């Protein structure tokens, strides 16, 4: 008969919500980054966290990702009480259940796009051949399979962020986290990333993104949580862009990106 491990005990009745924070407080020395934050995100929902610099947005995201532990309060993600997981359990949780897209891509410069993506699965024990096959499928779905052998240095900003998105999706995460995903991109590449996030959410991917960009929140999220001074200052629902308009824009940006790729090879 199977025995319950320490990390199995992290799973509780909180599985009804994709994410649930209850009275979360985080202190760094004398600084309070989060002060009694409580919120809930439903499975399949897309939520944007907004607020000024230093308000606690990224700290909140780090709590949900299991990158940091709260000083007090509970963080539940798809039934896992992160505060009850060991360090090893948290590492497994991040690899298997969380996908992260960062502002500055965090790609490995000495690996081509395909290997950057495949590595995420290989770190969980997936054989290299299987990992590379799925990585290629994801790059194809994101419209950049033809760039699979390109190194990050020769990819455009939009291409690099799509490689990063493919890597984040590699292990079929229950939750996708995005921290200022368009912050380092020009307007055209930013549009491409917003379209990508919208597409992912429309097929059921739960999404939590941190952004200071009202336009991005309106495009990608159905709800905005406003954070100020480490507290939830309010929230509001949003009506997002109609899918037909989004699809037309995606077609235009894809054609534009192809033109840019062709120009680079001349």
Q: Cα dihedral angle (170, 172, 175, 180), rounded to 10 degrees? A: 20
Q: Which of 173, 182, 181, 162 lies closest to 66, judged by CA? A: 173
**Tokens found for residue 188:** 């055209």
Q: How far apart are CA 94 and CA 91, in angstroms?
A: 5
Residues facing 46 on adjacent strands? 207
Confidence of residue 16 (pLDDT cuts 50, 70, 90): low
Run of H or E residues at 250: helix 243-265
C-beta of residue 103 within 8 angstroms of C-beta of residue 184: yes
Which of 3-7, 148-152, 169-173 is least confident?
A: 3-7
Q: From CA 177, how far away is CA 43, in angstroms rounded?
A: 13
Tell me if the pTM is above 0.85.
no
Percent of the chain with pLDDT over 90: 56
Q: Any residues with CB less than 8 A from the CB of 171 and at least 6 apart, and which? A: 95, 96, 99, 120, 121, 124
pLDDT at 176 over 50: yes
Q: Which residues pair with 47 in a beta bridge?
A: 208, 223
Q: Label the pairing between strands 31-41 and 19-28.
A: antiparallel
Residue with tokens 């990608």: 220
Q: Are 64 and 177 in contact (CB under 8 A)?
A: yes
Q: What is the largest CA-CA distance in the chain?
A: 64
Mean pLDDT score of the chain: 84
Rg (CA), the chain: 19
**Confidence grade of residue 98 (pLDDT, cut at 50, 70, 90):** very high
pLDDT above 90: residue 43: yes
Higher pLDDT, 155 or 5: 155
**CA atoms of 135 and 4, how far apart (whole Å):** 33
- In three-state form (DSSP H/G/I as H, E/B as E, the rest C), the secondary structure along 67-110 is CCCCCEEEEEECCEEHHHCCHHHHHHHHHHHEEEECCCCCCCCC
The residue ranges of DSSP E strands in the chain, in sequence order, are 19-28, 31-41, 46-50, 72-77, 80-81, 98-101, 175-179, 206-210, 223-228, 231-237
Q: Which residue has the tokens 């929230």?
A: 235
Q: What is the mean pLDDT of residues 184-189?
A: 79
User: Mean pLDDT over residues 225-241, rounded?
Assistant: 87
Domains of the chain: 14-265 (3.40.50.300)
Residues recorded for the chain? 266
If one counts every other C-beta atom within 10 angstroms of the C-beta of residue 52, the result is: 11
Q: pLDDT, tens digit, for every residue of 133-160?
A: 999 999 998 889 999 999 999 999 889 9
């Amino acid at each position: 008969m199977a025995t319950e491990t320490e990390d199995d005990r992290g799973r509780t009745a909180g599985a009804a919500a994709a994410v649930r924070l209850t009275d979360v407080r985080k202190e760094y020395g004398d600084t309070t980054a989060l002060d009694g934050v409580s919120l809930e995100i439903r499975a399949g929902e897309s939520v944007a966290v907004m607020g000024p610099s230093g308000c606690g947005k990224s700290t909140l995201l780090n709590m949900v990702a299991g990158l940091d532990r709260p000083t007090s309060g509970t963080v539940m993600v798809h039934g896992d009480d992160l505060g009850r997981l060991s360090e090893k359990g948290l590492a497994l949780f991040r690899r298997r259940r969380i996908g992260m897209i960062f502002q500055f891509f965090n790609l490995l410069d000495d690996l081509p796009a395909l290997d950057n993506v495949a590595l995420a699965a290989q770190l969980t024990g997936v054989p290299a051949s299987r990992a590379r096959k799925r990585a290629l499928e994801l790059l194809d779905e994101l419209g950049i399979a033809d760039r699979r052998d390109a190194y990050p240095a020769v990819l455009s900003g939009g291409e690099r962020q799509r490689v990063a998105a493919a890597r984040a999706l590699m292990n079929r995460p229950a939750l996708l986290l995005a921290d200022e995903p368009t912050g380092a991109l020009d307007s055209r590449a930013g549009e491409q990333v917003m379209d990508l996030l919208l597409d992912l959410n429309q097929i059921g991917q739960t999404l939590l993104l941190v952004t200071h960009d009202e336009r991005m929140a309106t495009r990608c999220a159905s709800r905005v949580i406003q954070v100020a001074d480490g507290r939830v200052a309010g929230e509001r629902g949003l009506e997002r862009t109609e899918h037909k308009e989004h699809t037309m824009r995606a077609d235009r940006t894809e054609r534009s990106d192809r033109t840019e790729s062709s120009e680079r090879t001349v």
